[in-house]
Chains A and B, each alone.
Chain A
Amino acid sequence: MSQIPFRHIMAAHCESGTVAALLNHHGMSISEPMVFGIASGIFFAYLKTPVMDFPMFAVRSMPGHLRSKFAERTGVRFRTRKYRSPEKAERELNDLLDKNQPVAVQTDFFYMNYFPAWYRIHVNVHFVTVIGREGDKYFVSDSYHPQIAEIDRESLIKGRFAGGSMAPKGFMFYPEHVPERIDFEKAVRKGIKGASWNMLKIPLPFIGVKGIRRFADKITEWPRYARDEDYLADKIFRITIFLEDQGTGGGGFRFLYASFLQEASKVLNNPALGEMAREMMKIGDGWREVSLASAKVAKQRDFSRPKLEEIGDLLRQRADIEESFFKRLDKELSNHKPTGSNVL
């Protein structure tokens, strides 16, 4: 066989992009922001555990949650599988491809060798859609690649069975059932409520706006964890990369979320959400200021406490603004009267 006809489009993020592309393939017209928003993808976490060499932060929900939360809220059913045996995983993938079923697989990004070597890092939570095979190569729709890519069999297997943190274990999924009628109004409301919960109410001091504040307080400690100046500069520069360049759509997913709120405003027939979408765009601009400050510190290699505190102050502003925003968003949803008119 060769390629299954599949509409490849680039997306901001690999998981939301993969889910959206697969659903569109199955006849459901849905955008990446709607997948992200309905699944309450917007998030913040600041993490430093004893086994971690260096602190890290996340601006989106746990890998896998986008698919599972979206499914829970829309009634879409995904067939999911994990494997111990690479041979069995390969056989079942091939069988599905032979039946013209595009399949999303979880991989270590490092092995996606259609990207240049300098760009590839070990991250076990990259999602791509396999859309065909020919001899010893597979055709892949990767949200971060401009065209359909080709990958050799050995690299795909290595990527699917890389060990370590969040090991893929051959994980794959595809839509098994897409309901004829979906209550998008209800799904959007649950998505927004979930986002407010994530950002405001999870009772852990390193999650949501509390996590942003923890990041602000702790960034002055970063030099303590660095083995040398190059390493510290790289880690601080990664703040900018994680917020702007690494699959977020810019501004740490805030622009993507603004796009969702604009669509949500139409689905719920609620103009207030349109205004809040505009506000979220400005919040994204604020995150870009964090990116700028971090890039400057990294580039100029001035790791003095006042410089790091400047980044901390910008983060505290983000926390205050997002706390106010998500409280008002939550209230807006609580006051919203369902119309039931957006069952599609």
Chain B
Amino acid sequence: MVFFVTSMSKDIELFYIYAGNEKTMKEKDLEVDCPWQQVVLYAEKDDGTYGPMQTGSYMAGTNISEHFRVTENLSRSLTEQLKAGTISPVYYFMMVEGLNADELAGRTGISKRRVKKHLTPAGFSKMKIASLKKYADVLNIPVANMFQIIYTVQNRDWDMGYQGEIDKSKTGSITQKKTGNPLIIETEVIINK
């Protein structure tokens, strides 16, 4: 049998322990301390019945740092490509949101052929503002963000596995608010002192 360990080890080798006996999944084997993501798993209870138990997600508890590393790598690589003019802003945000051309076409109502054009810098430069607005709505950003790269410093104190250095003196936030004009937003930068 295989079960989760209860510690918060980052080592995937400790993810499971093989006991090789005739037990089935027991409730106590599944207790994981991960308050920020709770899941329900089914296991054998002390009285021999099977049922649900609420516990922490082992995957979120142990693999969140890897998830962020991959996301940051992707974001960094896409930003470089965007600055070099080899991809369009629509492509950038599509990738960041985890969508693909088919899904973007379905969500915007723009044909797949056109979406594929708009993913290239040349196609983007010829796009109508109405189409740009559709992309911005689906990609959950203001239209203005298609034309700027905003750098922020994230506070990662909550991430137990995070190894990177954060310059807390620069920690701040950016607030973007809607206005009555659907193409214009207000951007406010707040620096923590």
Contacts and interface: CB of A to CB of B under 8 A. Distances in A.
Task: Identify which of A278, A285, A289 gathers the most chain B CB atoms within 10 Å of its CB.
Answer: A285
A277 B102 CA distance: 41
Interface string A70-83: 00000000000000
B106 A118 contact: no
A281 interface: yes
B12 A230 contact: no
Task: Identify which of A143, A164, A262 gathers the most chain B CB atoms within 10 Å of its CB.
Answer: A164
A307 B31 CA distance: 30
B73 A299 contact: no
A234 B1 CA distance: 26
Contacts of A53: 100
Interface string B107-140: 1110000000000000000000000000000100
A33 B39 contact: no
B51 interface: yes
B99 A122 contact: yes
B60 A259 contact: no
A251 B12 CA distance: 17
A299 B12 contact: yes
Nearest to B159: A118
A302 B170 CA distance: 38
A122 B102 CA distance: 13
A122 B63 CA distance: 20
A121 B140 CA distance: 13
B43 interface: yes
B74 A289 contact: no
B42 A256 contact: yes
Interface string A258-285: 1100100000000000000110011011
Interface stretch (A94-102, A125-133, A204-212, A239-247): A239-247
Contacts of A162: 107
A289 B70 contact: no
Contacts of B2: 285, 288-289, 292
Contacts of B70: 230, 233-234
Dominant SS at the B interface? Answer: mixed
How many A residues are at the interface, by size bracket?
35 or more
B164 to A, nearest CB: 15
A250 B25 contact: yes
Contacts, number: 123
Interface in B34-88: 36-44, 49-52, 54, 57-60, 63-64, 66-68, 70-71, 73-74
Interface residues of B, number: 49
A277 B25 CA distance: 12
Contact of B59 (A241, A247, A282, A300): A241
A234 B73 CA distance: 12
Contact of B24 (A164, A237, A281): A281
A299 B138 contact: no
Contact of B37 (A119, A234, A240, A262): A119
Contacts of B16: 288, 291-292
A338 to B, nearest CB: 25
Contacts of A143: 40
A4 interface: no
A278 B24 contact: yes
A163 B50 contact: no
Interface of B: 1-3, 12-13, 15-16, 24-25, 30, 36-44, 49-52, 54, 57-60, 63-64, 66-68, 70-71, 73-74, 97-100, 102-104, 106-109, 138
5 contacts: A10-B52, A12-B52, A234-B70, A249-B42, A255-B50
